[in-house]
Chains A and B, each alone.
Chain A
Amino acid sequence: MAKDPLAEAGFHFDELNKLRILEPEVSQKTTELKEECKEFVDKIGHFQKIVGGLIELVDELAKEAETEKMKAIGARNLLKSVAKQREAQQQQLQALIAEKKMQLERYRIEYEALSKVEAEQNEFIDQFILQK
C-alpha cells in the first residue's frame, strides 16, 4: 500500500470522511478506554458506598458491644457489691442483734431478781401467817 501523504502529515479521514488528526483506531481505543474508566469509577464508587455502609454497621455493632460489655461489667460489679452490701447489712443486723441480746440479758437478770424478791415475799407471808 502506498503511503498516504496525508497520513504522513498526520491527517486522517474517518469513516464519515471527516478530517482527523488522530488515527481513527487510536481514537476509537481512547474512547473505549474512557468508557471503561468511567465504568470503573462508577464501580469503585459503588464499592465505597457498600464498604462505608459496612463500616458504619460494624461501628454500630462495636458500640453496642461496648455498651453491653460495660453493662456486663457493671452488673458483675453490682453483683459483687450486693454481696458486700449484704455483708454490711448483715454486720449491721448482727450489731443490732448483739445490742438486743445485751438488753435481753439485762431483762433476764432483772426478772431473776424480781422472782427472787417474789419468793422472799411469799416466804415472808407464809412465815407471818404461821406465826400468827
Chain B
Amino acid sequence: MSMLVKACKVPFIHVGNQVVSELGPIVQFVKAKGHSLSDGLDEVQKAEMKAYMELVNNMLLTAELYLQWCDDVTVEEITHPRYGSPYPWPLNRILSYQKQWEIRRKMKAIGWAGKSLEQVLEDVDQCCQALSQRLGTQPYFFNKHPTELDALVFGHLFTILTTQLTSDELCEKVKNYSNLIAFCRRIEQQYFEGRLTLARP
C-alpha cells in the first residue's frame, strides 16, 4: 500500500492497484469506468462548467487558504492548534510554521500576500455573486441534474457555512445569497438525508 500511495492527497480512491486522488482525476477515472454526470451537457456547457470549477478553485479555495494561514487571529486560535494536533511537541509547532510559510509564499506568488482581509472577503463576495447569478432559480447549475460543479460548490459552501471560525464574516458573505443557501440545503437533504447539519435560520 505504501508503495501505491505516493504524494497522495485526500480524497483518494483505491481500486485494485490504482490510487487516484483529488476531484479532477477522480472524476476522470470514474468517467472512464462509465459513470459521468456531465455527459448530458453540450460542448459550451461543458466549457462553462470547467470554467466555473476553476472560479471556485481560484477564488474560493484561495480565500479559504488565506483565511486559514494568513489571518493572524485565525492562525493563532484555530489553524495552528488544529494542524499540529496529531503531532507531539515540538513537531506540532514546527510543522505548522512550515506549512504557514509555504502557503504564504504561494500567496505572494499569486499576488494575494498584499491583500487585506476585507479585500479577500470582497473577492469571496464577488465569487458568490457570480455563482448565485449563474445558478439563478435552477435547482442545479445546469438545470435538472447535478454535475461535478454542483459537488464542488456544495463542498466549499457547506464547509464555509458550517465551520465555526473566530468571526462569522466569511459565512455572512455566503448567507447574503439565498439561492446558494437553498442549493446547499437541497443537496444536503437529498443526498445526505439530514446526517449533516446545516443550521436553519
Question: Is B truly associated with A?
Answer: no
